[in-house]
Amino acid sequence: MNRHFALTTLAALLLAPAAGRGQAAIEGKVGLPKTRFAPVVNERYEIVSKAGVLATDPPRAVVSLQGNFPKPADLPAKQVAQKNLAFAPPLLPIEVGTKVSFPNFDDTYHNIFSYSPAKRFDLGRYPPGENPPPFQIFDKPGLVTLRCDIHEHMRGLILVLATPHFVITDADGHYRLTKLPVGHFVVKAWIDSKTTREQPVDLKNGATLHVDLP
């Protein structure tokens, strides 16, 4: 075999994307429930409960790509702070195995807990500025509802996903997922604690797929 041809072939193989990997993207729009509130520029929203259904108000959705993905060696830590007697952010999507801390930036005690099947815990009462702040590792997929034993009105949600690919929509329901692997997957939109929508997709390297979830 010609040495130049062999080297050229080897270089091409090394530069070619591995099976199942690529630079695909998905964009589209999720049909969100109607709200009487006008969208706000700074994306502020809160968690509300209506007839036992937990949702963001004004509405948002979490869009994710579902499939069989390798587990990461480590994940960046996240936080849900208590500030102005509210959770910040009120909705946090994370990947399974993520460590989440709960710093207290208020001038009063908090006691964060959850009775959700995906993660049951009780941090106990702790003062402002406790360092390091209490934390939990979320090792099971599902929706975790956060409450405060001292401040009954406080509600927060952590959506634990078995995928590294997810995003929160904007106020109009638009989303965009990038740097996605190539192959057959399912796009899922979480809208509230009782509502999800999904659609199968085939992703090709270098292509952007438009997927609406009305």
Task: Tell whether omega for the bond before 89 is within 30 degrees of 0, i.e. cis.
Answer: yes
Model pLDDT, residue 73: 86
* Amino acid 12: pLDDT: 38
- Encode pLDDT of 133-183 as tens digits: 999 999 999 999 999 999 999 999 999 999 999 999 999 999 999 999 999
Q: What is the C-alpha separation between 35 and 179, in angstroms, rounded?
A: 32
Q: Tell me the pTM.
A: 0.86
Q: Which amino acid is at 129?
A: G
pLDDT at 35: 72
Pair 188, 197: CB distance under 8 Å: yes
- pLDDT, residue 42, reads 53
* Domain layout of the chain by residue ranges: 21-210
Q: In terms of residues, how long is the chain?
A: 214
In CATH, the architecture of 21-210 is Sandwich (2.60)
Note whether 97 and 166 are within 8 A (CB): no
- In this prediction, the residues of the chain whose per-residue pLDDT falls under 70 are 1-22, 36-43
